[in-house]
Amino acid sequence: MRSTLLLFAPALVVLAAPHIQDIRNIDWEAELLGTREPLPLSQRDRSEPSIDAIFKSLGKQFFGTAADRNLINNGRNQEILLHNFGQYTPENSGKWDTVERSQGNFNFGDLDFLVDFAQRNNKLVRGHTTVWHSQLPGWVSSINNRATLTSVIQRHVTAEIGRYAGKIIHWDVINEMFSEQGTLRDSVFSRVLGEDFVRISFEAARAADPQAKLYINEYNTVEKGSNYAKTTGMARYVAKWIAAGIPIDGIGAQAHLMAGEGRNVAASLKALCAVAPECALTEVDIVNAGTTDYIQTVKACVDIPNCVGVTVWGVRDSDSWRANNNPLLFNYNYDAKPAYSALVQTLGAMATPAPKSS
């Protein structure tokens, strides 16, 4: 035993002498038991190319995803957020029932967390969402006085958007305000204020952050075709409101697609983007995540000059609101799916200049 120690000790000293402090700092119990913490994210890498980097090479602002504190704190999810995506949209932490569940009592903890994480890692943030009929506290839904509801909207929008002025590039100021017939959805906002709640909301948002791009966001506007009543109705209303001076900068098309609906996106998105200064695909997920559907959907944005970015609504299937439909670009094991690889290949080819003829 003694001779073994004599042989081992010099070898250890010779090999470790230049970094003896590192040797002292090793948790040998954790090493031997296999419980050592994984490498910091900055020291790890993923094998698939970053779709955000490729998308930006095509002149777009971002390829992003939905996130919140619980997903950011998941180490494997965080790896993908950092490596593959350039913009984060809060899935729930910016909604009214989270931010102001009781009147005048604001809770920005989870949204602060996301914005701080994005800023530390040089990522963009889209704000989602200030005025929406769903996930709305009962104290707001029960208001039936015009002056009261106007004041409540103004205070809420001012508090939330103003808090992050200069830190969030886009805001979905109003979310899902249209019916399938292309008219105003029945909600406390439309019942009490009519369509004037659009002006009230957007004017408050512009005053709170003059630099942020202000969006109106909607679903079933690119899924069903360019002649679908909701698509044409939204385009008509937005064009009218912009002409009237309401500060709407962009249209967000959510793109929660069924399988096979990718073929409808290009024409529908083109019709919407034609009436606003800019546009984006904001919540993309597609049943079964077919490669053709994803390519058709994302390429629709690439081909429209004022479409600035694409956001998919989550990282991996099991964290999706449509988990049973496997709609995202990463599977349950955090592996990139064929649709991701196909997008990387297709977009990469578009970004590569054609060889010059001799």
| 160 a catalytic residue | no
pLDDT at 47: 77
Quick check: 210 pLDDT over 60? yes
pLDDT score, position 352: 66
Active site residue 278: no
Tokens of 63: 């390829």
In a domain, 103, yes or no: yes
**Span 160-178, average pLDDT:** 98
Structure tokens belonging to residue 255? 């793109």
For residues 43 and 144, what is the distance between their CA atoms, to the nearest angstrom? Answer: 56
Percent of the chain with pLDDT over 90: 84
Examine residue 211 and state whether it is found in any structural domain, yes or no: yes
- Residue 48 has what pLDDT? 85
Catalytic residue among 91, 160, 278, 283: 283
State how many domains the chain has.
1
For residue 178, pLDDT beyond 90: yes
My answer on whether omega of the bond before 129 falls inside 30° of 0, hence cis, is yes
In whole angstroms, give the CA distance from residue 311 to residue 169: 14
3-state secondary structure 103-167: CCECCCHHHHHHHHHHHHCCCEEEEEEEEECCCCCHHHHCCCCHHHHHHHHHHHHHHHHHHCCCC
Cα–Cα distance measured from residue 173 to residue 60, given in angstroms and rounded to the nearest whole number:
22
Q: Write down the pLDDT at residue 14.
A: 37
Show Cβ contacts of residue 196 under 8 Å, excluding neighbours closer than 6 positions. none
Q: Is 32 part of any domain?
A: no
Q: What is the pLDDT of residue 8?
A: 37
What are the φ and ψ backbone dihedral angles of 64, each rounded to 5 degrees?
-120, -175
Report yes or no on 9 lying in a domain: no
**Is the backbone of residue 54 left (phi > 0), alpha (psi -120 to 50) or beta?**
alpha
Nearest to 117 by CA among 87, 92, 142, 139: 87
269 pLDDT more than 50: yes
Q: How far apart are CA 206 and CA 173, in angstroms?
A: 10
Residue 120 belongs to what domain range?
Answer: 50-351
3 occurs within a structural domain: no
Is residue 216 within 8 Å of 177, Cβ to Cβ?
A: yes
pLDDT of 45 higher than 70: no
Flag whether pLDDT at 78 surpasses 50: yes
Active-site residue, from 176, 223, 261, 278: 176
- The enclosing domain of 102 has a CATH number of 3.20.20.80
Asked whether residue 79 is domain-assigned, the answer is yes
How many CA atoms, within 13 angstroms, populate the side-chain half-sphere of residue 24?
5
Nearest of 54, 88, 87 to residue 69 by alpha carbon? 88
Distance CA 218, CA 305 (A): 20
Indicate the pTM of the whole model.
0.86
The pLDDT value recorded for residue 1 is 40
In a domain? residue 214: yes
In a domain, 17, yes or no: no
